[in-house]
Chain A
């Protein structure tokens, strides 16, 4: 069972949610923001052969998604250790 008291559990959850919200904002900005909403604006910038908006929609957002998940996994691992709820005895 979890060894946290009520306040610790609340704090742990609050920090988890706040990390999640930050990362979900990035998730939204790269995919829906850069890939769809602002695509025309970004397409006026060209990097190599790629129009930037097109690149975000077809490649860039996927790379960012991968980064987001591993960053989340790492930060949550740190948080688990800080609160003593990690699973490595």
Chain B
């Protein structure tokens, strides 16, 4: 079920394309902004709205790394594991973050606060190693800094 608010936002996105299907990624991102992820229920309503079959929409959803088909935590941490960050020690940072949060990559903490995911190069290689939490980019990371930064996301 989509709320009126979601419907309104989706309609605004769809106006930019000559056909509805083209707006499917943006539409799923609207749902994600409100719920954090795209549930089976939302997917069904979206498919109906966009004139696609559920299978078609599911095929698009699973293609992309940042459309979540499972619930995620209140905050999503994306740790860059591409080359410049690797040179700058992202393996050690990953070790630190996973042990500090007590979760492996791909998991959500038991309190529902964080989901930890790997991400490809964030285009900020001059500040490697780099991560994103929600919409914020954090660069030039050290283990101590990560501890402080994480505290800012309750």
The answer on A and B forming one complex is no
Q: Which residues of A contact B (CB under 8 A)?
A: none
